[in-house]
């Protein structure tokens, strides 16, 4: 797409012009198809809760995950809870062709990708030097590379249609370096930085772009990554996945660029923004102390 600066280039974000052929092609690609919300890592945890909330809001939903059995169980659970049919896509988002695989399956179901929720994530707890190269590569492949590729692949058609959106699931930990979860916190900081920058670039073009920053959640994620007994879970009581999903859905519809669910998390978010790292990093070192392990969705 051709990029053009506005006359007020020092005060407003850049605008992107879309030629007629691009718009026509984007519209023809979805002719006869229904819009859908595609959620990666949608078989459990936040992803499953977000799927239910979008279904309750009247949206068609596609959930994506690597585990076919878990996906089928999630689809049945969602169907029983909402009375709606859910499309499932078995796919590892870390694969370079993930977007093509997802798009093809979505189209076969008579749908098109209208909203993308990048929820799939990989967690590592413990000292940085204690992690293997394999684990660190997996973390980067899912939390950074896959999210970046999927977002970049989805946005052009959304912009051409002047509708749709992207929600990238980050973490409250994106606001501060996280000793004992160093790589995980750094990956989530990347997600927030990228999301806010893209949101500024596409502002006013009919496409929502938001980052979700949940704190501790009452799911298996923290336990499986080895952080289940970390002290921060006592300082910030875990929210339920459904509560997080309700806040995320509401914030996304309002067009919030950064969504922080929960009052206590919001106060903690502001404190992390205001206090210097000389205070917050030692504090996080104390709060995040716990054994090594890993987790993959």
CA 175 – CA 60 distance, rounded (Å)? 33
Per the rule left: phi > 0, alpha: psi between -120 and 50, beta: everything else, 32 is left
Please, what's the b/e burial string for 25-36 (b: 16 or more CB within 10 A of its CB; e: otherwise)? Answer: ebeeebeeeeeb
Cβ–Cβ contacts within 10 Å for residue 155, how many? 22
Determine the length of the chain. Answer: 297
- 184 carries an active-site annotation: yes
Interaxial angle between packed helices 182-201 and 147-161, expressed in degrees from 0 to 180 and rounded to the nearest 10: 10
Catalytic residue, chosen from 112, 128, 184, 232, is 184
Active-site residue set: 184
């Amino acid at each position: 797409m051709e990029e053009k600066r506005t006359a007020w280039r020092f005060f407003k974000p850049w605008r992107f012009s879309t030629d007629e052929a691009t718009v026509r092609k984007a519209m023809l690609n979805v002719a006869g198809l229904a819009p859908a919300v595609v959620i990666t890592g949608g078989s459990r945890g936040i992803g499953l809760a977000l799927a239910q909330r979008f279904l309750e809001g009247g949206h068609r939903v596609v959930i994506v995950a690597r585990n076919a059995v878990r996906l089928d169980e999630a689809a049945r659970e969602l169907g029983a809870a909402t009375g709606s049919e859910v499309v499932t896509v078995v796919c590892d988002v870390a694969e370079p062709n993930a977007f093509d695989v997802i798009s093809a399956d979505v189209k076969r179901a008579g749908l098109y990708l209208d909203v993308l929720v990048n929820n799939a994530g990989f967690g590592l707890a413990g000292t940085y030097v204690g992690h293997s190269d394999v684990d660190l590569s997996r973390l980067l492949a899912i939390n950074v590379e896959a999210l970046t590729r999927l977002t970049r692949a989805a946005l052009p058609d959304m912009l051409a249609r002047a509708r749709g959106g992207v929600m990238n699931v980050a973490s409250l930990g994106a606001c501060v370096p996280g000793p004992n979860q160093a790589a995980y916190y750094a990956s989530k900081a990347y997600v927030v930085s990228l999301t806010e920058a893209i949101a500024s670039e596409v502002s006013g073009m009919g496409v929502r772009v938001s980052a979700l920053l949940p704190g501790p959640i009452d799911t298996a994620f923290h336990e499986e990554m080895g952080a289940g007994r970390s002290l921060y879970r006592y300082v910030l009581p875990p929210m339920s996945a459904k509560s997080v999903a309700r806040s995320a859905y509401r914030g996304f519809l309002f067009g919030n660029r950064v969504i922080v669910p929960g009052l206590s998390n919001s106060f903690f978010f502001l404190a992390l923004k205001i206090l210097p790292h000389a205070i917050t990093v030692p504090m996080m070192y104390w709060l995040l102390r716990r054994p090594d392990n890993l987790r993959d969705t």
